[in-house]
Each structure stands twice: as structure tokens, then as C-alpha cells.
């Protein structure tokens, strides 16, 4: 027995208000307009007034339109039938396939009890040395790819998706360009991965409120599959669009902005999603890789800034490669002690020397004379860029570590590397 | 009991209509079906009350009944706290997991202390003794501590013991004493009681000046920017700079009795590292697992925001309770910015006039009041107890000019500012040696530290100049100073937290190595050119790094130490007199 109301009291931004009774916070309603029906979610209760955020936006809604409350919060259908299917941000099929209505689950459920979490323990190999050696990806990690628009972040995401060993991929697209949506679809199809993929795609042309639903739906489905023992990789592109949607809605609701127009709870909103990444001790796992495009290439912008505080590191994509500085996998130390004994040390030594190379480059660009040491660094830096940083390099971790030692031996004396003597004894190639 | 009903819901704030008596900050329960959702009264205007709900508010309806508890948000204090893992409202997370599995459940609240354990109680008093709140009545062994059973902190005035239980085994719910005041009011005393988290525990005779160093075993802290027992310090830094790792390392190695870890609004995964590893790590000082001296308060970023605001208070209250037993307690809060943001969210919903970056106008005073709860105190029995607070700050955009960092810097005694530049270059811990400061005395004479620090300052100047005039435009003399500062940085300021030996360096070892470093700094060596100088210092650096990874009681350690010394003496340097004199103060 659903309650129906036929008078809308106010329409501001994408939010409508109706006078209604006994409505639960978060309850869903259906708004029937002459352009079709849309879902709407209760986002505020005030006395008799119920404020609803309309998924398809308020354009064309008339004060005489009908609002029917559904008696439940936002739900999606969960079953194996989801495999290979594509939906929009409201959970409706986008691929012409049948509607799924069975086994409805609530999205945005409570957090995992921290006590039930386990220490991440498994590396996810990608074949990309800048990841495997320097910023190892770990099962259950949440990691953004910080990037300026124009960088090949979606191809990188797709490549990791194809090469990573997981059972299931869920792609959440937010404000995705139609071409990019097709790119993901085609790439996964050609790679034979489409049948183990579920897509929830909001494109740039779709209503903004639907953009907000994408991460919650994607992660709720991922959570169910993980509980059934699947290792799920969730790809989100682009979280900046999600945050901008939050901002737009906060501003139309006249919330006091905290920083450059973004609402004060941006951190909590992003964290609620990213923290869904998890490794269940006796079931599956969720790993999240999310693109965050940086407005104006500014990492201090509130979106990348808040994201950086939440995620377990980040990959910086710049000039077509993963930057050694700034890129970081906070979980790498949990797995790279077990890969090979030289892994940790060589990774630090290579980066310290690369930092010195960058300093030398700067000196060189200012026209200073290059010392013998500078010349060594220049040689090293160029080799590093070619052999290791180039994104097209595709080699297993062990080969990549060997390549690091080779490169060091070609450029330096052992003592110049700052590596401990026992490692040099064991791994240095040539004269020690 | 006062009752009311919900009139509005906005995010995690509800408005309640009530005719009854309401206390500011009291706990109210919102009745939603079977569930009772906990909330805290944060504004009262006539018959309209606003409360922040400690749970997801989905499902609340206008008209839902509300029960006011007439009690402030409190924690339960008594034996059984050590080793626990609580959420921000002191719910034991392991037991919640036992009951409901993987996920947290809104409205499920469990008692904080175990009720079934019998503690072996030994009285410290006799009938007729007169007591004030916070004074010891007896003690029970908890882990390897003598847990003092105290007069509840809210029994103001003087009380005479009229009954005291004999030595024996009791649960925390059994009365172990009965006391009476001069008016004849009588009270049964149990081994546990509660105390409102937002009120500082003040049952001591005086506050003292923090003077004794709190040893963290991190060289750059103990030697250069020390923390004092009973003092306060903060660690601001951009994301990924190493705030959490630094606190984790400190929580393991700090020389204190009890450690409170408040994981406030940051990643759950990090707490997991602590709570899974601590039970396995044996504290060499006590021979017991680290978990036995630790209490974890864990309200991570996806847990309800209002409970996050409460979590730092829950932690500090438990910390004060143990200080009251004459113990040295360290509270590490990561991150105080998330706590401040929780306040900001609520302030926004209350539509208060926002201050800078939309933080509430009272931000500064709230932060100051929190850090003020640290301190070293003289208890009524003459013993001293200390509570040291270290908080990380996560400034927006890594910019220390923002309100939370600035408000914190005004009140703390030491500032460990982490630098993006240093963490990018993998120079850990990335505490910036030129920006950071401490007002406390450390484990070395101040003059020796100042001497070493002067090399860092000059080294930075020379390095900046070299960027302009190039290496060739720099004199050999300046270049050597620059090399010395780089050397000091590489082998002493930087420390490998993941190396079993280097991770924790005792004060004795710090002094021993620092002496050698002073000698190197004070040495005026003749080099023919910069290349030779650089090679010399690289060689020294190599040996020192090997030394840092070698246990002090080994032959290898002495061999490496002597090798550095010999390499220096071989060059027949002249020594700077001031440096030599300072070295002798470290004998
Ligand atoms: N002392 C250290 N030694 C080695 N690596 C460190 C150290 N401190 C930080 N790191 C590296 O930096 C990463 C981020 O550190 P973290 O403490 O999580 O930063 P923050 O809390 O400031 O965001 C760690 O996962 C680790 O890889
Ligand atoms: Mg941190």
C-alpha cells in the first residue's frame, strides 16, 4: 500500500518537496511526470515536509505531478544474471537486456567492522614495473589514478583490469564520455573479459543525480560477490565527476561550502565509498582502482587532496607515464618483504637516485657545468625512463628487479647507491 | 524520564520536540522499530532540541519516539580496559563481530567491560579511613599492572570507609566497599564507574611542568625535537608523508606504561595492522605482548561521523584514568583533523555562522581544551602520573596555514612538521629538520643539538645557493659543510622504520652514535677537490648505514664504529674546539 501525493510544494535545483506523513529518511519515491517516471530519494525531513532528490533532475516537473512513495530505500537486484550486463546510474538496463527485479538488496549498507578485517597479504601482479616494483598493488587496496585530462588513464585502467588476476570486474562510470564507455566495452570484449564484467555507467549526457548512485550501486554489488567468495576489482572513472555532483547538489541545497565550493563532508562521502575495499577472511575481496582527474593539474585541489588522505596511496599519471614521485602504494611494504629480499631496498635506492637525477636536470637546464657525478646521474635517469618508466614495458617483477640492478651497475659504483653492503655482495652485477 | 518525538531529520542531525527537562550533551535514544539509536543533545531552544545521531539516520521518521537518558556521554572505567578494541562510543568491536559478523550494526551497543571476570582485589584501606574522589581503595592485577581501584571521580567531598571487602576475587559489579559522607549519605563502591568523556578528570593535587623526556626511540625526535612526558606535540603533514607510520612506530617503541591509540576518521586498514600485529610483538622491556599495554579506540572514516567526534574524548578519558594510577600514558590520535571536520559537519547542520574554511568559530578553544588534558600531575598520594598527547593533523592541500594546524600549533609543545619534499625523496621519517621545533628538553645537552643543527641550516643555505651558482661556483669549504649536513641527514635524521634494528634506537645508542657524528662534523679535513670530498663522505655514509642496521651489542657494531672513526683519524683532521668540547659533554 503505497502512499501517493499529487501536490509538489517546491522545486529547487533537483530537489522537490511534498507534504507527506510517516516517510522514512532515505525512502525512495517515484515521480511521474509527462516526460516519464523518475526515482527520487528522501534527503531531508522537516515537520510535514519531505524533501526528495529527483534522479532524473527536476526539469519539466510540474507542481501537479504525482509522487508515489515506495516504502523502501534504494535497492538493486543481485544475482549471477548481472554478469556481462550494462546498467545506468539508476540501475536500469542500458544494454537492451531484460530488467532484473529479483533478490533486491539495499545499497550503501553499514561499514565492515574493523576487527573483522585482515592484513592485506596478496600482491596483484600487473606486469607494469612502475607498479609492481615501486608501488605494488595489493588485493583489497583502494587506489586512485591522479591524472590531468588528456592522459591515457582509461587505457591504463583497462590494461590493469585485463592483466590483473581477479574473478570479476565491476566498472562504475561517472560522467563518462560516450566514446570512453565504448572503449571500455570494446577493450574488455576483445580481451575476453566482458563476460566477467558488470558495468554501471552514467555518461556525461545523463542526469547528474544518477552519477551519485554509481559508486554505491557498484560497491553494493561488489560486496555481495565478495561475500560469496569472489575477488572483485572495482574500476571507477571518474571520481572527480562524482565529487562535482556532490558539490552541485550541496550548493543548490544552500549548504555552507568549506573549500572551493565543496561541502564539508566531502571527505566522509568519499571515504564511505573507498572504505568498501576489503578482504574478507573467509570469503572474497574488493579492490578499488579509481580515476581522479585533477582540475588544473593541482593536487591540492579538494578532490585529489581528500582522496589522497583516504586511499592507500595513488598513481600519478603524467606525460603518459606513472610518476615515480608522488606515486605511492601504502600497502607495498605488506607484500614486498615476501617477493624478493632486495625488493624494498632497491626500490628506495632507485628512487633516491632518480630524485638526484631530477635535481641535476634542473641544474643542467640552468646552464651549470656538469660534474662527473652529474653525468652519471644523467645517464642513469635516461636509462631509468626508457627501461622502467615507459608504460609499454610489460615484464614480470623478478625481471624488473634484475633490470634495476643492471641499470645501477651500468651507471654507478656500489657505494654511490646507498645500498647496504650485504645486498651489494649478493646482487651487484660485475665488480663490487 | 523525559520523552519527546522526532520533528526533522537532516543528515545525522535530528530535531526533537519535548516538554520535559533536557541536559546539554545528554544521551537520547531514538526509537526506530526495534532499534534504539544513540544520539547526543547538542542544542536546546525552548521545546525544540537538536541531537547528533551516532548512527546512519536512514529509516528515522518524523514522529519516532525519543527517550532522554539524563546521562552525559560517558565511558566505563575499571579493570579490563587494557588490550581492548573499542569504537568511538566504547563498544567492544571484537564482541560486536562475534554477535553480528562482518558488518557493524546500527543500534547495537554492548557493555565495555567484561562482567564475568573475577579480579583478585587487595584492599589498601581500613575502616574509618577518609577518602576523596580518585583516591585508591585497593588494587587488582590487570595484565602486568597494578590496577588501582579508585573512589569514583564523581563522588565529590569527603567520604569515610564504613565497610571494605577483604582480599579476594570479585567481579566489577560487586561492591568492594561502602562509604559515607558527613551527612550520613552512604554509597556502595564497585570496581567500575563511569565518567563523562567531555569533562577532564581533575582528581589530583597539582599539575607539574613537563620536564622528563618521553623516549620514542626515533632519533630525530629524541635528539632534535623531543617530546616530554606530560607534554603535547603534533604531526601535521600532507597525505602520504608518513604521519601514520610515525605514530605506529611510536606506539610500539615509546617508553611509557600505557598507550592509547585513537584511530579517528582515517583508514580502517591501518588500525588492522596494529591490532593484528600487537598481540604478536613482545615488548622487550616487559616480556609481554604490546597489546597488553594498549587500548585502541577505532572510529575509522566510514564509521558514523558523530561517533568520530566522540572517539578522541573516549580515548583521552581512558588515558586520564590510567594516569590517575601513577602511570605514564601516551595518547596518539590520528587524525585530529577528522575530528575537527566532524565538528564542522555538525556546525553546518546547526547553521552556525561559519569561521575560516567553514570550521566553527569555537574550533580553537575546543582544540586547546583537548590538548590541555595532557599533563604531568602529582596525585593525592604524592605519586606522579603523566599523560602525553600526540596528534596528527591532515591539513587541506598540505598547507599548514589552514585553521586546524594553526589552532594546534598555538597549544602544543612540539611540532613535527612532515614535508612532502622529504617523503617524495623517501627520506623517512619526513620530519622537516628546519621547520620543526620543540620546547622540551631531550636526551642530549641542548648545546650539542644546536651545534649539529647549525650544519643543517648552513647546509640548506649552501644547497639553495648551489642551485643558483652551481657546484663550480661553490667554494670547497662550503661544499664540505653541505656534504656534512647531507651526511647527518642520511645517517642520523633518516631512520628505517622497517629495519628491525634501525626502527628503535635506545637513548644510550643515540648518544654513542651522536658523539661520533659530532666528531665528524667538527673535523676540518683537507680535500684536494670536491670529488674527493664527496667520495670520502659517501664512504662514511655507507659504513654508518651498515652500522645503523647492526645490533649494538655485537662485535660487528664496534668494528663498524671504529672503522668510521679510523677513516676520519686517517685524514689527520684538525678539530673545531667548540665541537670537541661538546663531544665531551656526551661522555
Ligand atoms: N618511516 C618510514 N619508513 C619507510 N617508509 C615510510 C615511512 N613513513 C612512511 N613511509 C611510506 O609512506 C607511506 C605513507 O605513510 P603514511 O604514514 O600512511 O602517511 P600519512 O599518514 O601521512 O598519510 C607508507 O605506507 C610507507 O610506504
Ligand atoms: Mg595517515
**DSSP secondary structure code for residue B103 in this structure:** B
Identify whether the C-beta of residue B181 lies closer than 8 Å to the C-beta of residue B157: yes
Distances (CA, A) of A246 to A237, B192, B308, B349: 15, 46, 22, 16
Identify the CATH homologous superfamily for domain B77-111+204-438: P-loop containing nucleotide triphosphate hydrolases (3.40.50.300)
Write the residue in B9, B302, B345 that is nearest to A45 by C-beta: B9
What is the CB neighbour count within 10 angstroms for residue A369? Answer: 11
pLDDT above 70 coverage of chain A, percent = 99
* CB of B244 closer than 6 angstroms to any ligand 1 atom: yes
The dihedral through the CA atoms of B486, B489, B491, B497 has a sign that is negative
Measure the N-to-C terminal CA separation of chain B; round to a whole number of Å. Answer: 68
B/e letters for B414-443, b = 16+ CB within 10 Å, e = fewer, are bbbbbbbebbbbbbbbbbbbeebebebebb
Question: Domain B119-191 class?
Answer: mainly beta
Identify whether the C-beta of residue B443 lies closer than 8 Å to the C-beta of residue B226: yes
> Using a CB-CB distance cutoff of 8 angstroms, which residues of chain A are in contact with residue B263?
114
For residue B429, whether the previous peptide bond is cis, meaning omega lies within 30 degrees of 0, is: yes
Question: Which tens digit of pLDDT belongs to each residue from B431-441?
Answer: 999 999 999 99
Q: Is the per-residue pLDDT at B114 higher than 60?
A: yes
**Cα separation of A306 and A263, whole Å?**
12
**Cα separation of B103 and A110, whole Å?**
6
Question: Among candidates A242, A219, A217, which has minimal Cα distance to A232?
Answer: A219
List every span in chain A annotated with CATH 3.40.50.12240: 76-334
Say whether B104 and A110 touch across the interface (CB within 8 A): yes
* CB of B428 closer than 6 angstroms to any ligand 1 atom: yes
CA B27 to chain centroid, in Å, comes to 27
- Cα(B479) to centroid(ligand 1), Å: 31
Identify whether the C-beta of residue B386 lies closer than 8 Å to the C-beta of residue B440: no
- Cα(B231) to centroid(ligand 2), Å: 22
Lowest mean pLDDT among A224-233, B158-167, B482-491, B578-587: B578-587
Interface check for B65 against chain A (CB to CB < 8 A): the answer is no
Residue nearest to atom 24 of ligand 1 (CA): A330
**Cα separation of A85 and A79, whole Å?**
11
Give the model's pLDDT for residue A408: 96
Annotated domain spans of chain B: 3-72, 77-111+204-438, 119-191, 446-585
Question: Among candidates A236, A204, A242, A202, which has minimal Cα distance to A219?
Answer: A236
DSSP string, B514-531: HHHHHHHHHEE---SSHH
Give the model's pLDDT for residue B410: 97
Give the model's pLDDT for residue A432: 67
Give the model's pLDDT for residue B98: 96
Identify whether the C-beta of residue A397 lies closer than 8 Å to the C-beta of residue A125: yes
Domains B119-191 and B446-585 share a fold: no
3-state secondary structure of A359: helix
List every span in chain A annotated with CATH 2.40.10.170: 3-73
Say whether B425 and A372 touch across the interface (CB within 8 A): no
CATH architecture of A3-73: Beta Barrel (2.40)
Cell of A407: 641499470
Question: Which tens digit of pLDDT belongs to each residue from B93-103?
Answer: 999 999 999 99
> For cell 635535481, what's the residue?
A359
For residue B197, whether the previous peptide bond is cis, meaning omega lies within 30 degrees of 0, is: no
Indicate the CATH number for domain B3-72: 2.40.10.170
Give the model's pLDDT for residue B467: 84
Question: Among candidates B225, B142, B164, B185, which has minimal Cα distance to B442?
Answer: B225
Q: Where are the alpha helices (H) located in B69-163, listed in sequence order?
A: 93-100
> Using a CB-CB distance cutoff of 8 angstroms, which residues of chain B are in contact with residue A333?
498
Cell of B236: 601535521
For residue A273, whether the previous peptide bond is cis, meaning omega lies within 30 degrees of 0, is: no
Helix, strand and coil content of chain B, in percent to the nearest 5, comes to: 35, 25, 40
B551 CB-side CA count, 13 A = 4
Question: Domain B446-585 class?
Answer: mainly alpha
3-state secondary structure of B140: strand
B 38-57 near A (Cβ less than 8 A):
56-57
Mean pLDDT of A321-346: 89
Write the residue in B59, B267, B542 that is nearest to A24 by C-beta: B59
Question: Which tens digit of pLDDT belongs to each residue from B547-572?
Answer: 999 999 999 999 999 999 999 999 99
Q: Is the per-residue pLDDT at B420 higher than 60?
A: yes
Q: Is the per-residue pLDDT at B274 higher than 80?
A: yes
Helix, strand and coil content of chain A, in percent to the nearest 5, comes to: 40, 25, 35
Say whether A25 and B9 touch across the interface (CB within 8 A): yes
What rounded mean pLDDT belongs to chain B?
95
Q: Where are the alpha helices (H) located in A255-396, listed in sequence order?
A: 266-274, 302-310, 332-339, 343-365, 372-384
3-state secondary structure of B578: helix
Give the number of residues written for chain B: 587
> For cell 568520530, what's the residue?
B308
Q: Which fold has domain A76-334?
A: Rossmann fold (3.40.50)
* CB of B429 closer than 6 angstroms to any ligand 1 atom: yes
**Cα separation of B447 and B451, whole Å?**
6
State which H helix or E strand residue A405 sits in. helix A397-411
B438 CB-side CA count, 13 A = 30
Q: Is the per-residue pLDDT at A1 higher than 60?
A: no
> Using a CB-CB distance cutoff of 8 angstroms, which residues of chain B are in contact with residue A47?
7-8, 62
> Using a CB-CB distance cutoff of 8 angstroms, which residues of chain A are in contact with residue B94?
115
Mean pLDDT of A145-154: 92
State which H helix or E strand residue B50 sits in. strand B48-53
Cell of A39: 526515482
pLDDT band, very low/low/confident/very high, at A153 (cuts 50, 70, 90):
very high
Ligand 1 test: best mutation among B242, B263, B266, most atoms within 8 Å of CB?
A: B242
Say whether B546 and A355 touch across the interface (CB within 8 A): no
Lowest mean pLDDT among A261-265, B223-227, B414-418: A261-265
What is the CB neighbour count within 10 angstroms for residue B271? Answer: 26
Residue nearest to atom 5 of ligand 1 (CA): B428
Give the model's pLDDT for residue A159: 87
Question: Which tens digit of pLDDT belongs to each residue from A371-407?
Answer: 899 999 999 999 999 999 988 888 999 999 999 999 9
**Cα separation of A71 and B508, whole Å?**
68
Angle CA A16–A17–A23, to nearest 5:
120
* CB of A333 closer than 6 angstroms to any ligand 1 atom: yes
* CB of B240 closer than 6 angstroms to any ligand 1 atom: yes
**Cα separation of A428 and B217, whole Å?**
33
> Using a CB-CB distance cutoff of 8 angstroms, which residues of chain A are in contact with residue B7?
46-47
pLDDT band, very low/low/confident/very high, at A161 (cuts 50, 70, 90):
confident
Q: Where are the alpha helices (H) located in B425-506, listed in sequence order?
A: 446-469, 476-488
Lowest mean pLDDT among A326-340, B188-202, B467-481, B516-530: A326-340
* CB of B502 closer than 6 angstroms to any ligand 1 atom: no
**Cα separation of B368 and B375, whole Å?**
13
* CB of B236 closer than 6 angstroms to any ligand 1 atom: no
Q: Which ligand is nearest to the CA of B494?
A: 1
Contacts of B69 (CB under 8 A, 6+ apart): B1, B26, B27, B28, B29
Q: Is the per-residue pLDDT at A421 higher than 90?
A: no
> For cell 595484565, what's the residue?
B143
Q: Where are the alpha helices (H) located in B523-554, listed in sequence order?
A: 530-548
- Cα(A33) to centroid(ligand 2), Å: 48
What rounded mean pLDDT belongs to chain A?
92
Cell of A412: 654507478
Amino acid at each position: 500500500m503505497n502512499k501517493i501525493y499529487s501536490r509538489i510544494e517546491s522545486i529547487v535545483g533537483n530537489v522537490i518537496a511534498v507534504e507527506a506523513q510517516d516517510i522514512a529518511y532515505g525512502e525512495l519515491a517515484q515521480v511521474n511526470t509527462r516526460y516519464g517516471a523518475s526515482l527520487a530519494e528522501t534527503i531531508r525531513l522537516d515537520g510535514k515536509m519531505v524533501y526528495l532528490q529527483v534522479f532524473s533532475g527536476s526539469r519539466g516537473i510540474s507542481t501537479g505531478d504525482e509522487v508515489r512513495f515506495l516504502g523502501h530505500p534504494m535497492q538493486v537486484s543481485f544475482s549471477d544474471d548481472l554478469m556481462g550486463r550494462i546498467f545506468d546510474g539508476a540501475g536500469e538496463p542500458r544494454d537492451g537486456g531484460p530488467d532484473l527485479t529479483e533478490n533486491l538488496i539495499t545499497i550503501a549498507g553499514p561499514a565492515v567492522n574493523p576487527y573483522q578485517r585482515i592484513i592485506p597479504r596478496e600482491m596483484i601482479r600487473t606486469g607494469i614495473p612502475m607498479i609492481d616494483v615501486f608501488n605494488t598493488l595489493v588485493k583489497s587496496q583502494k587506489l586512485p589514478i591522479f591524472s590531468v585530462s588528456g592522459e591515457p588513464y582509461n587505457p591504463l585502467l583497462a590494461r590493469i583490469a585485463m592483466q590483473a588476476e581477479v574473478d570479476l570486474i565491476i566498472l562504475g562510470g561517472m560522467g563518462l564520455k560516450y566514446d570512453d564507455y565504448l572503449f571500455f566495452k570494446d577493450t574488455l570484449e576483445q580481451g575476453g573479459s566482458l563476460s566477467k564484467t558488470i558495468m554501471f555507467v552514467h555518461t556525461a549526457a545523463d542526469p547528474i543525480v544518477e552519477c551519485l548512485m554509481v559508486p554505491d550501486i557498484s560497491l553494493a554489488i561488489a560486496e555481495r560477490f565478495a561475500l560469496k567468495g569472489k575477488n572483485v576489482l572495482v574500476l571507477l572513472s571518474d571520481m572527480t565527476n562524482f565529487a562535482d555532483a556532490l558539490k552541485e547538489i550541496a550548493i543548490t541545497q544552500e549548504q555552507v561550502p568549506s573549500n572551493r565550493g565543496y561541502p564539508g563532508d566531502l571527505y566522509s562521502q568519499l571515504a564511505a565509498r573507498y572504505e568498501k575495499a576489503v578482504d574478507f577472511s573467509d570469503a572474497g575481496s574488493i579492490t578499488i582502482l579509481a580515476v581522479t582527474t585533477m582540475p588544473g593539474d593541482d593536487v591540492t585541489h579538494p578532490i585529489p587532496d581528500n582522496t589522497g588522505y583516504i586511499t592507500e596511496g595513488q598513481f600519478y599519471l603524467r606525460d603518459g607515464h606513472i610518476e615515480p614521485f608522488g606515486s605511492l602504494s601504502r600497502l607495498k611494504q605488506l607484500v614486498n618483504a615476501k617477493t624478493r629480499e632486495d625488493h624494498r631496498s632497491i626500490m628506495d635506492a632507485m628512487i633516491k637516485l632518480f630524485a638526484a637525477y631530477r635535481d641535476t636536470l634542473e641544474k643542467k637546464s640552468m646552464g651549470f657545468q656538469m660534474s662527473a657525478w652529474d653525468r652519471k646521474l644523467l645517464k642513469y635517469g635516461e636509462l631509468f625512463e626508457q627501461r622502467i618508466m615507459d608504460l609499454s614495458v610489460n615484464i614480470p617483477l623478478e625481471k624488473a628487479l634484475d633490470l634495476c640492478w643492471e641499470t645501477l651497475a651500468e651507471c654507478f659504483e656500489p657505494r654511490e647507491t646507498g645500498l647496504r653492503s650485504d645486498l651489494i655482495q649478493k646482487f651487484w652485477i660485475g665488480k663490487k | 524520564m523525559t520523552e519527546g518525538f522526532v520533528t526533522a531529520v537532516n543528515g545525522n542531525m535530528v530535531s526533537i520536540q519535548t516538554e520535559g527537562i533536557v541536559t546539554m550533551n545528554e544521551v537520547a535514544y531514538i526509537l526506530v522499530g526495534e532499534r534504539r539509536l544513540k544520539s547526543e543533545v547538542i542544542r536546546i531552544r525552548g521545546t525544540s532540541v537538536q541531537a547528533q545521531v551516532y548512527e546512519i539516520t536512514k529509516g528515522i521518521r518524523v514522529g519516532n519516539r525519543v527517550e532522554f537518558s539524563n546521562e552525559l556521554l560517558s565511558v566505563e572505567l575499571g579493570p579490563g580496559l587494557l588490550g581492548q578494541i573499542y569504537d568511538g562510543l566504547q563498544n567492544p568491536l571484537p564482541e560486536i563481530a562475534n554477535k553480528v559478523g562482518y558488518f557493524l550494526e546500527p543500534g547495537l551497543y554492548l557493555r565495555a567491560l567484561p562482567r564475568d571476570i573475577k579480579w583478585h582485589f587487595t584492599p589498601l584501606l581500613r575502616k574509618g579511613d577518609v577518602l576523596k574522589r580518585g583516591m585508591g581503595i585497593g588494587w587488582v592485577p590487570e595484565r602486568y599492572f597494578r590496577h588501582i581501584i579508585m573512589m569514583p571521580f564523581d563522588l565529590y567531598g569527603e567520604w569515610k570507609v564504613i565497610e571494605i571487602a577483604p582480599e579476594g576475587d570479585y567481579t566489577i559489579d560487586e561492591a568492594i566497599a561502602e562509604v559515607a559522607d558527613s551527612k550520613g549519605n552512604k554509597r556502595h563502591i564497585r570496581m567500575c564507574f563511569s565518567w563523562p568523556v567531555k569533562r577532564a578528570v581533575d582528581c589530583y593535587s597539582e599539575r607539574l611542568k613537563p620536564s622528563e623526556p618521553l623516549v620514542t626511540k626515533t632519533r630525530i625526535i629524541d635528539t632534535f625535537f623531543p617530546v616530554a612526558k606530560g607534554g603535547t606535540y603534533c604531526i601535521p603533514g600532507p597525505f602520504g608523508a608518513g604521519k601514520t607510520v610515525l605514530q605506529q612506530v611510536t606506539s610500539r617503541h615509546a617508553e611509557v606504561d600505557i598507550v592509547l591509540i585513537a584511530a579517528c576518521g582515517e583508514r580502517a586498514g591501518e588500525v588492522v595492522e596494529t591490532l593484528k600485529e600487537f598481540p604478536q610483538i613482545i615488548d622487550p622491556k616487559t616480556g609481554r605482548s604490546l597489546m597488553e599495554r594498549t587500548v585502541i579506540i577505532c572510529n575509522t572514516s566510514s564509521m558514523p561521523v558523530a561517533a568520530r567526534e566522540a572517539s578522541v574524548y573516549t580515548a583521552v578519558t581512558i588515558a586520564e584514568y590510567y594516569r590517575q594510577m601513577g602511570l605514564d600514558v601516551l595518547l596518539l590520535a590520528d587524525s585530529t583533523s577528522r575530528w575537527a571536520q566532524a565538528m564542522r559537519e555538525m556546525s553546518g547542520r546547526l547553521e552556525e555562522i561559519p569561521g575560516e574554511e567553514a570550521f566553527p568559530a569555537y574550533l580553537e578553544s575546543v582544540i586547546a581544551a583537548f590538548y590541555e588534558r595532557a599533563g604531568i600531575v602529582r596525585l593525592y598520594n604524592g605519586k606522579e602520573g603523566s599523560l602525553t598527547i600526540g596528534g596528527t593533523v591532515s591539513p587541506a592541500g598540505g598547507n599548514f596555514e589552514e585553521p586546524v594546524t594553526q589552532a594546534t600549533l598555538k597549544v602544543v609543545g612540539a611540532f613535527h612538521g612532515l614535508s612532502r619534499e622529504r617523503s617524495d625523496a623517501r627520506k623517512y621519517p619526513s620530519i622537516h629538520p628546519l621547520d620543526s621545533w620543540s620546547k622540551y628538553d631531550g636526551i642530549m645537552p641542548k648545546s650539542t643539538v644546536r651545534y649539529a643543527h647549525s650544519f643543517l641550516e648552513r647546509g640548506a643555505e649552501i644547497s639553495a645557493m648551489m642551485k643558483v651558482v652551481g657546484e663550480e661556483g661553490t667554494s670547497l669549504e662550503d661544499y664540505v659543510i653541505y656534504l656534512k649536513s647531507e651526511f647527518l641527514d642520511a645517517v642520523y635524521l633518516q631512520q628505517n622504520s622497517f629495519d628491525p634494528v634501525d626502527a628503535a634506537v635506545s637513548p644510550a645508542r643515540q648518544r654513542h652514535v651522536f658523539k661520533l657524528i659530532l666528531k665528524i662534523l667538527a673535523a676540518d679535513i683537507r680535500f684536494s677537490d670536491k670529488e674527493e670530498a664527496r667520495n670520502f663522505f659517501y664512504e662514511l655514509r655507507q659504513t654508518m648505514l651498515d652500522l645503523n642496521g647492526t645490533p649494538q651489542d655485537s662485535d660487528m657494531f664496534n668494528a663498524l664504529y671504529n672503522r668510521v672513526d679510523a677513516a676520519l683519524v686517517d685524514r689527520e683532521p684538525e678539530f673545531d674546539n667548540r665541537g670537541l668540547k661538546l663531544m665531551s659533554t656526551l661522555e
